[in-house]
Amino acid sequence: MTEDKHKERRRFSRVEFAADAVITQGEYRGQVHLVDISLKGVLVETPDEYHLKANQPASLSIKLNDDVIIDMEVHLVHSSHSILGLECTSIDMESIAHLRRLIELNLSTPDASERVLDELISHPAPA
């Protein structure tokens, strides 16, 4: 699939955002580094060792600063030697507000705020 067709299919704006996060699944707890983020999920660098099971629930906690943390429930949808794709399956209202603001601030188009709001209205994040 070409890059243009892939972008046409994407319903959620994805922004590059470098941050550290903690992922937990069962007894496994690991540190990951975000590559990019959207309202529907995140891409993270593949840790040297990880024990995530595909399609099993996991928790992801992204600390933006001392007062702001984005918590979401995710599951692993794809992996490669360098990248893990995590789909958001549930997120609380406070976290979605922080995530929306983060995406608005990091999009470079003038209509970014309206587009992000339209995405939230058209495709609400699962609760």
Handedness of CA 9, 15, 16, 22 (dihedral sign): negative
- Do 124 and 91 contact (CB within 8 A), yes or no? no
Q: What domains does the chain contain, in order, with CATH numbers?
A: 3-122 (2.40.10.220)
pLDDT of residue 47: 82
Q: d(Cα 111, Cα 127) in Å, to the nearest integer?
A: 26
> What's this model's pTM, rounded to 2 decimal places?
0.77
Walking along the chain (127 residues) 10 residues at a time, the average pLDDT comes out as 45 80 94 92 88 90 93 94 93 93 76 56 54
pLDDT of residue 112: 55
